[in-house]
Amino acid sequence: MSSKIGKRRRVAMSSALWAPDHLLSSDDWNALDREPYLHYELSDGVLVMTPRPAPRHQYVVKRVADALEDQLPSALVPLIDVEVPIRRGPAATHRAPDVVVVPRAVLERESSSVDPAEVLLAVEVVSPGSVSTDRILKVQEYASVGIPAYLIIDMARHELIAHELTGSGTYAATTGAPAAVTVGGHAVQLDWNQLDWNQLDWNRLD
């Protein structure tokens, strides 16, 4: 029995460590065979693979989605871990925000991705391996495709950062709680009580 388990583990590890020998296009990305225990994104054609979020992270993401749904009209819905193509074509960028808010009509489609033009709010819960990506790269990327609002939740640093798109096409950022943004003409906010801050050790978020 142990030899069979060991063989399966070696196969899984070799697949997880596989890396392409070229920058990936959107077509490459769509054809990618993905392991269920990994989280995938594509950044300028570079495949980014990280472990699936721990239960603690997933719990915060659920709390965020629930809090948003409570404040939004029925015409708008929060979705979890949905692909958003930032740049298609060669050397593509495809992101998968922890939460997005989109029109309810999106639910009628079978596609696993959502066009950036349909995303009214993107939310990222920062993990130890995504600090620079969430706090720097995605701020630029989400603004570049016109996502009106972007919320960063950094539990380890105890920071809520709300970004709203300005007329110049860049974000104006506000740090503090509650974090307030306008989503499709509706004011929403998140605070630490909604995220259950006091119940878990957030220094261990991963």
Q: What is the pLDDT of residues 63-105, one digit of tens each?
A: 999 999 999 999 999 999 999 999 999 999 999 999 999 999 9
Place of tokens 């105890």: 158
Report the C-alpha gap between 94 and 72 in whole angstroms.
26
Q: Are 10 and 32 in contact (CB under 8 A)?
A: no
Select from 102, 99, 125, 122 the least CA-distant residue to 114.
102
Report the C-alpha gap between 152 and 159 in whole angstroms.
8
* Type of residue found at 165: L
Report the C-alpha gap between 180 and 68 in whole angstroms.
11
* Of 21-35, 110-124, 131-145, 191-205, the least confident: 191-205
Report the C-alpha gap between 96 and 174 in whole angstroms.
23
pLDDT of 53 reads 84
pTM score, two decimals? 0.85
- pLDDT (tens digit per residue) in 131-141: 999 999 999 99
Query: For residue 36, which phi and psi values (nearest 5 degrees)?
Result: -70, -20
pLDDT of 197 reads 63
191 versus 3: which is more confidently predicted? 191
With 50 as the cut, is the pLDDT of residue 8 above it? no
Q: Which CATH architecture has domain 20-204?
A: Alpha-Beta Complex (3.90)
Give CA 183 to chain center in angstroms: 17
Q: Under DSSP, is residue 24 helix (H, G, I), strand (E, B) or coil?
A: coil
- pLDDT (tens digit per residue) in 124-163: 999 888 999 999 999 999 999 999 999 999 988 989 999 9
Query: For residue 170, which phi and psi values (nearest 5 degrees)?
Result: -120, 165
Q: Are 65 and 78 in contact (CB under 8 A)?
A: yes
Domain ranges of the chain: 20-204
